[in-house]
Structure formats: structure tokens, C-alpha cells
Amino acid sequence: MMSDQAWEIEPSGPLRGDISVRGAKNAVSKHMVAAMLGREPSTIANAPEVGEVAITAAMLDHLGTAVERRDGEITVVPGAVADPDVPKAFTGLNRIPILMLGPLLHRAGEAFVPLVGGDPIGHRPVNFHVAALRAFGAEVEVAADGIHARAARLTGTRIDLPYPSVGATETVLLTAVLADGKTVIRNAATEPEIIELALFLQRMGARIAFSPDRRIVVEGVRELSGAQTRLGGDRLEAFSYLVAGLVTGGEVRVHGCSQDRLVTAITTLARMGARFEITDEWIMASAPDGLRPAAVQTDTHPGFATDWQTPLMVLFTQADGMSVLHETVFENRLVYVPALKGMGCEIEVFDVCLGGPACQFHDTNAVHSAVVRGVSKLRGGDVTMPDIRAGFSAVLAAAVSDGISVLRGVHHIERGYHRPVEQLRALGLNLRRR
């Protein structure tokens, strides 16, 4: 996956057909890290073929944990940790290294991980992770090149998260399961991927309970065994393909992602005029009477997910009227808007809270609201994609543009979507690699 690869997309009319999504990109790598904690191998089925898996596997391999991949199944075989330092070569590639701190402290008593990476969508609250690890009793030093940690033993504690951060909640779970005593997480994230990780840890022998009001209680155990699990479908990928059908005037039937993971998204699209057919096996969306505008605010689960707003923004350009988007999770999530405007999308962005109550970015300089005018006539462009979800939004814009588009930085999409070229071509999109 070279960063200089590009896709050439020529609009080919409505996208129609069937798509199958695999397990979530945001879940598979976290399960691989959790498997480090077991005494025996663990197996993760329905894994996507994404760049994120290869990056995480390479880190685990360096740490003495072997990873075997075959036909959508990942087997993680824990081994002795000879070197508890994640190489600096992994700096900025994804957000996984910081999640390894807790497991490495349990396994080796010390650790170093390079600075967190991932998509440039806003501030990653590394301080939440550091504060949590210190509360467990670890000595943690944040340096210019990464984070050093040391602990003879970790003790259960009470963690009050200032914000229900997914990553920080994962760090606490991965640390608490083998800590001495009880840990209580208050204001925890409750995204489906968090629940899925907790269930996997429970299969490994962890004692985890969910309480009302975003509380998670973990009673530490002495050791964990291996476990087997099958990942649930990627709700972010499923939404992207449903929108691909709607934005082009077609219809896409998405298999492999259960309805409960898309409840808020389905209702949001229905308000815009989408019609749904839903079974236990698949979900299909179409908009034979066109699309209406909407006002949507992103939020933590069970609200409208921040990762859903990038495809939604392109859909807004094809709805008849003025739509409003209020991003409340990441302050820089609208970084992709200039590229869409270059393709003819009529979008204006603001640093005030529009379309919802005041959020955490109120009275800051964060540009986090957008007003979109539709129906816009889009034109082909030469676009460099800054991150995974913005990359898919550019694909959607290219699919309804007048003329050919060249999309650069496609490694971002291939890091997070399962076989995107094959999937998009199966829907009828004229896509060529360059």
C-alpha cells in the first residue's frame, strides 16, 4: 500500500448491488491487543483485510506475540516479551501503540510506545490514557518521541473520564482486567466496539459488569486464557455503502452488519427520504422520490457517530435544500471540506455550534459546523485524501460528478475498508488503479 497510489473514477450511473462487510476496523486491532493478555492463543473470525491489521500484527510480532492470518481468521499466539518497546518506526501509523501500555506493563513491568497516530481529525486525548495508567500505580513519562511506563504491579482504581473517550475506555479495560482489585470507570464510552472488546475479555476470563450511567466495573483476575470470537459487522463501512447507493440514485443491499448497530443512522437517512428494507441478513436503502435536507449533530454512542458524517456531507449535497452538520466529537473533522468544495460541493463551515446545543468546542476557534446547499452539480477533480472516512467521501463525490476524478492517498481507504476496489466495482463504479 504505497502512498503515491491513486484511483481514477469515472461516474457510471446509479450504484446497485450487494455488499458484504466484515468485522470493524475499529474492533479487530483492539482484539489483537487484548489477545496479548492470554496464556493461550486466541482466534478472531470475520476479520477484515485492512492495512490496520498488518500494522498491528507487525507491532505484536516485535513484542514476541505471533500473528497468523488466513481466510478472514486471525490467530494471536502470546509469547515471552523480550523487548517491551514498540519501535519508533510505528510512530503516527495508527492509534494502537498506546493501547499496548497496560498489557505490556502486566507482561513485562515496563514499556515504551511511540506517539499516537491515525487520522488528522483532531486532538487525541493522550492525557486521558496517561492519567488512567498513573491512577493504576504506573510511573509514566511523556517524552517528545513517545511514552515510557513502568510498574511493579497495577492496582484497581476509580477512573473518572472527563469525556467518554473510546480509546481511553479501551486503555482502562485492557489494564483493569489483570490489575489487583476492583476498577470502576465512570463516564465510559459505550460504542458497540467497546462492548465487543469487553465481551471478548470476558470470554478470556475477565470479570466485567456494565452499570447504568456509563459506568463499567472490572474485578481484576490473576490470569486470562485464550478465547475465540467472531467480530460483528463494521457499522461505519455499512453506512458508507448505504449512502453510496442513495447518493447516486441507486440502491445497495448491505449484508453482515446487524440493524442494532445502525439504528440512529437508519432513522437519520429515513428522515431525509430514504426507504429501507431490513431483514436479519441484510439492510437495503433507496430514495426513489429524492432526498430532503436535514440537521444532524454527531455525538458519542448511541448518538450519530462522527465517522458517519463524512459520507453524510456528500449526501447533503444531493438533497434538495439546506442541510446543517454539527460535529461535536473531533474539532478538526471537517478538514476534508476544501477538497469537496473543489469538486463543486456548496459547503460553508463555521466555528459556532449550529444544528444542536452548545458542545465542547463552543467558544473555541474549532471549525466544527457546516451548512450544505443541495442539489449541487459536482465536477471531477484531482483530490488528495487526508484520512480514511474523508477518503470515502471523495469517492462518493466522484461517483456523482460530471467528469473523471483522480483520488490520491488511497492508502488511507485501504487501511480502513475491506477490499474497497473490489466492493465498489461490484456495485458498478468505473474505478481504475493508477
Q: Just list the catalytic residues.
A: 119
Give the number of other Cβ atoms within 10 Å of residue 393's Cβ. Answer: 27
DSSP state, residue 155: B
How do 207-211 and 215-219 pair as beta strands? antiparallel
Distance CA 105, CA 84 (A): 9
From residue 239, alpha-carbon distances to 5, 129, 236, 257, 262 in Å are 25, 30, 5, 10, 8
**373 bridge partner residues:** 322, 346
In sequence order, the 6+-apart residues with CB closer than 8 A to the CB of 238 are 21, 254, 256, 257, 261, 262, 283
Q: Specify the residue for cell string 466496539.
A: 193
Burial 117-155 (b: 16+ CB within 10 A, else e): bbbebbebbbebbbbbbebbbbebeeeeebbbbebeebe
CA atoms within 13 A on the CB side of 329: 21
DSSP codes joined into one string, 222-271:
S-B---EEEPPB-HHHHHHHHHHHHHTT-EEEEES--GGGSHHHHHHHHH
**114 bridge partner residues:** 146
DSSP state, residue 87: P
DSSP state, residue 289: T
Distance CA 325, CA 201 (A): 36
DSSP state, residue 377: -
H-state helical runs in 272-362: 309-317, 337-342
How do 275-278 and 251-255 pair as beta strands? unpaired
Distance CA 127, CA 125 (A): 5
> Which set of grid coordinates corresponds to residue 331?
474539532
The H or E element spanning position 60 is: helix 51-62
The H or E element spanning position 321 is: strand 321-326
